[in-house]
Amino acid sequence: MKDIILDSMSELIASMDVNFNFTYFNKTYHSEFKKIFGPDLKIGDNILKKLSHLPKDQKKVEDIWGRAIRGEEFIVIQTLGDTNRERNTYEISYSSVKDDKGEITGAMHIVRDVTIRENLRQKAEQSMMAKQRFLSSISHELRTPLNSILGFSQLISYDKEKKNSELYSKSILRSGKHLLGLINDTLDYNKIQEGMLSVSPEVINPYELLVDIVEDMKNYALENDVKLYMNCDEHKDINIIADNQRYKQIIFNLVSNAIKYNKKNGSVEIKSKNENGMLIVEICDTGIGIENSDICKLWEPFDRLSNEATSIQGTGLGLTITKMLADMMNGVLDVKSEKGKGSVFSIGFISTTKTPVNIAKEYIHTKDDIFEEYTGKVIYIEDNTFNVVLMTNIMEFNFPKVQYEYSYDGHNAMKKICETDPDVILLDINLDGCNGIDILKNIRKNNKFSTKKVIMISADVTENIQKKCIQNGADAYLSKPIIIPAFLRTISPFLKKSDE
């Protein structure tokens, strides 16, 4: 009975005499010993002889069994096995075996395979260390722009004669944008790491996106004394399958790097080619280039290839995210570079003959924009005082003829909308105790308001929130923080002009 119980245990149990000869082993021990070390075992076998083909393990066994034979009781965590095979981790408890008179006659051990537990512990330790490294890098990265924002805001309050206020406010804006980029990159990086970022591939036309990006980046290129060209007309009708927003993010990142790491009077050219059923967009710059040995570090998080010491702002996360996004969408990201001469980053996606679905844009471009001439009624439903003050100033400054009202009360939003009868409703999503999307649904349910224009404005950056808003009847979506030109371009088509 005793043997049946011992043989059915998953633990390996064995004992030996003071000369290292086995006096007992259970069935599991017998089979595992063979699996781990090779030889078959019999009672009476000498363990040291059995391990003569594994001198390192033989020495370990001799030392450890020796301690137990001398009367020590202890537990060790040990990795055992042939180096050519998988080595498992074991928790082994040793104790001596005594006769009736209390004399030591040998030793015994109980062995538990703890490989899974140990692997999990190691993984948790590694992830904890990676998190600590991440937090220490990110807190350093956050402090730099914050230092500039806090410092220049204080300088503005000292600058009574407003001599340098414009310079200071430009610096605050620049650092604020950098901070925003850092937060967005960090969120994306974390989401990808945790497998929480999803992409929604659909048929898109890259040409339209590239035109938008060049338009958006024109000023940035100008500020950096870099000429920005686009030569993709030949492939303007080629469509690919990718997530619209994430594709834009990839190109945006590559173009912004090409401008950032350029030289004075340098240039950036966006070209396209259609090769082997793949539409490849190349971003070619005449910039500082990258050392051959550094190319493999480009995708590493926080590695800025010594650029941390320069005044060029960055997080070292852009290309990491770009690479991860490209991989998630089956895109092919490549780079060729020559130090001192420039780089070519390329991103390729399989082309498709299918036609693109209509994608709701974050904002609509209008060219004429003399905003003073616009009229109409606007109401902003928002529970945060700072956001209301900011919007009130934006509206009063840009649209002096527009009747503008606000309400902090999301619960009574419908009542307020009825009273005001606005042309445009600016609607926050996370209102105190209620959700802006529910208010949007109520607006769309009500026939009287079905034609009202609703712009959702939210700091909610969770996946697909923009799509959810548009699906529920929003006319546009803007994410916080508000970028004023984008806001003006979004709201103006929904207002009237005084001469109309």
Would you count residue 288 as binding ligand ADP (CB under 6 A)?
A: yes
Q: Which of 258, 413, 429, 469 binds ligand ADP (CB under 6 A)?
A: 258
Find the shortest distance in angstroms from Cβ 332 to ligand ADP.
17
The interface region with ligand ADP, picked from 5-13, 59-67, 217-225, 288-296 by CB under 6 A, is 288-296
Q: Which of 287, 376, 410, 422 binds ligand ADP (CB under 6 A)?
A: 287
Would you count residue 261 as binding ligand ADP (CB under 6 A)?
A: yes
Choose between 65 and 261: whose C-beta lies nearer to ligand ADP. 261
Would you count residue 250 as binding ligand ADP (CB under 6 A)?
A: no
The interface region with ligand ADP, picked from 37-45, 85-93, 187-195, 255-263 by CB under 6 A, is 255-263
The interface region with ligand ADP, picked from 159-167, 300-308, 326-334, 424-432 by CB under 6 A, is 300-308
Would you count residue 257 as binding ligand ADP (CB under 6 A)?
A: yes
Find the shortest distance in angstroms from Cβ 319 to ligand ADP.
3
Would you count residue 242 as binding ligand ADP (CB under 6 A)?
A: no
- Can you give the three-state secondary structure of the chain, one letter per residue? CHHHHHHCCCCEEEEEECCCEEEEECHHHHHHHHHHHCCCCCCCCEHHHHCCCCHHHHHHHHHHHHHHHCCCCEEEEEEECCCCCCCEEEEEEEEEEECCCCCEEEEEEEEEECHHHHHHHHHHHHHHHHHHHHHHHHHHHHHHHHHHHHHHHHHHHHCCCCCCHHHHHHHHHHHHHHHHHHHHHHHHHHHHHCCCCCCCCEEECHHHHHHHHHHHHHHHHHHCCEEEEEECHHHCCCEEEECHHHHHHHHHHHHHHHHHCCCCCEEEEEEEEEECCEEEEEEEECCCCCCHHHHHHCCCCCCCCCHHHCCCCCCCCHHHHHHHHHHHCCCEEEEEEECCCEEEEEEEEEEECCCCCCCCCCCCCCCCCCHHHEEEEEEEECCCHHHHHHHHHHHHHHCCCEEEEEECCCCCHHHHHHHHCCCEEEEECEECCEEHHHHHHHHHHCHHHCCCEEEEEECCCCCCHHHHHHHCCCCEEEECCCCHHHHHHHHHHHCEECCC
The interface region with ligand ADP, picked from 230-238, 298-306, 425-433, 464-472 by CB under 6 A, is 298-306
Would you count residue 266 as binding ligand ADP (CB under 6 A)?
A: no
The interface region with ligand ADP, picked from 68-76, 309-317, 392-400, 442-450 by CB under 6 A, is 309-317
Choose between 96 and 249: whose C-beta lies nearer to ligand ADP. 249
- Report the residue number whose CB is nearest to ligand ADP: 314
Find the shortest distance in angstroms from Cβ 397 to ligand ADP.
33
Would you count residue 189 as binding ligand ADP (CB under 6 A)?
A: no
Q: Which of 48, 114, 305, 470 binds ligand ADP (CB under 6 A)?
A: 305
Q: Which of 57, 285, 428, 475 binds ligand ADP (CB under 6 A)?
A: 285
Beta carbons of 82 and 70 less than 8 angstroms apart:
no
Sign of the dihedral through C-alpha 417, 422, 424, 428: negative
Would you count residue 290 as binding ligand ADP (CB under 6 A)?
A: yes
The interface region with ligand ADP, picked from 33-41, 191-199, 281-289, 461-469 by CB under 6 A, is 281-289
Would you count residue 249 as binding ligand ADP (CB under 6 A)?
A: no
Choose between 17 and 308: whose C-beta lies nearer to ligand ADP. 308
Which residues, 331 to 370, sit near ligand ADP by CB under 6 A? Answer: 343
Does the N-terminal peptide bond of residue 206 adopt cis geometry, omega within 30 degrees of 0? no
Would you count residue 307 as binding ligand ADP (CB under 6 A)?
A: yes
Tokens of 176: 């604020």
Q: Which of 145, 316, 348, 376 binds ligand ADP (CB under 6 A)?
A: 316
Q: Which residues contact 420 (CB under 8 A, 6 or more apart)?
A: 377, 379, 405
The interface region with ligand ADP, picked from 23-31, 93-101, 302-310, 482-490 by CB under 6 A, is 302-310
Choose between 209 and 290: whose C-beta lies nearer to ligand ADP. 290
Binding site for ligand ADP (CB under 6 A): 257-258, 261, 285, 287-290, 298, 304-305, 307, 314-320, 343
